Amino acid sequence: MSIAAFGDAVRGWRDRVAPESVGLTPAGQRRAAGLRREELALLAGVSADYVTRLEQGRASHPSDQVVEALARALRLSAEERAHLFRLAGLVPPGPERVPATLTPGVHRLLRRLGGTPVAVFDAAWTLLLANPVYTELMGERPEWRGHGRNGVWWTFLGPPGRVRQSARERRALEAALVGDLRVTAGRYPSDPRLHELVRELRSGSARFAELWDSGAVGRHESARKTVDHPEVGPLTLDCDILTVAGDEIRLMVYTAEPGTSDADRLAGLAARPVPTTA
């Protein structure tokens, strides 16, 4: 790994990304138009201290997940992304891996839907990006290691979330997610990260192992959900899953029926001030 070159590349690409282009509101006096380290860390789901150490050459051997997250947050082209992987001493992901690259159109869509909770997942249900109102609705998630950003992992191995579920709804969601993940595993049988995710889920959750071994296939689709927000109260929302053709990127979109109290509460949630980096 070229430690210095990796840090120089991240720092240079960070300088060219305007906060507004990735849905952030710039605050305070800024010496440059690009992202601050704290903002890049927020977008990539890592700590600001780790970004600092990477840029200063004091951290080596970042994982492929970290490099992928940085490349996505920096909006790198396919060639730049491959170059960053090589600088990290890693083999760039090829077509046999689950795609995780977001097109400029997806970034623009999230910015234009600023008042609507939207999150972007890959085909294995790993969270790639979420707008502020989605985070406000569902809550901040700790920076878990490994597969902590994966929605199937959250469901079977993570702590309880804000979505209210009956036992029947819970079991239906579990079956749908496992069936969906199995379809993805069939399309990307050589993806090592996906193999690792399935191994961890099978060893950590008897329920996942039971469903996985049953061989069921399916798809996690739209549903109506009630989200218990600690400040605005319960919101009953329609959750729709949209797929970006060709990239297998999933957009999870929450909306409320117009004219309802749920719509009013969601609008109030979207109007709350978004924390910015000073």
Q: Are residues 186 and 249 in the same domain?
A: yes
Q: Are residues 178 and 109 in the same domain?
A: yes
Q: Are residues 45 and 172 in the same domain?
A: no
CA neighbor of 180 nearest in space, from 126, 127, 124: 124
Give burial (CB, 10 Å; 0-12/13-18/19+) of 168: exposed
Q: Are residues 81 and 121 in the same domain?
A: no
The pTM is what?
0.71
Kind and range of the H or E run holding 272: none
CA separation (Å) from 85 to 1, 39, 44, 163?
Answer: 9, 21, 15, 37
Q: Domain of 49?
A: 3-27+34-87
Q: Are residues 76 and 178 in the same domain?
A: no
- What is the tally of structural domains in the chain? 2
Contact 205, 196 (CB under 8 A): no
- 234 located within any domain: yes
Average pLDDT over residues 209-217: 90
Angle (CA) 213 214 218, round 5°? 110
Looking at the predicted structure, is the pLDDT value of residue 52 above 60?
yes
The pLDDT of residue 91 is 78
Q: What is the pLDDT of residues 59-100, one digit of tens each?
A: 878 888 789 889 888 988 878 888 998 899 887 877 788 888
Rounded Cα distance between 121 and 23, Å, is 17
- 93 located within any domain: no
Contact 225, 252 (CB under 8 A): no
Q: Are residues 46 and 158 in the same domain?
A: no
- 96 located within any domain: no
Q: Are residues 214 and 122 in the same domain?
A: yes
Q: Are residues 58 and 153 in the same domain?
A: no
Rounded Cα distance between 230 and 213, Å, is 37
Q: Are residues 80 and 111 in the same domain?
A: no
Q: What is the CATH number of the domain that holds 80?
A: 1.10.260.40
Q: What is the CATH number of the domain that holds 163?
A: 3.30.450.180
The pLDDT of residue 68 is 85
Q: Are residues 123 and 62 in the same domain?
A: no
- Output b/e per residue, 257-277; b: 16+ Cβ within 10 A: eeeeebeebbeebbeeebeeb
Q: Are residues 81 and 110 in the same domain?
A: no
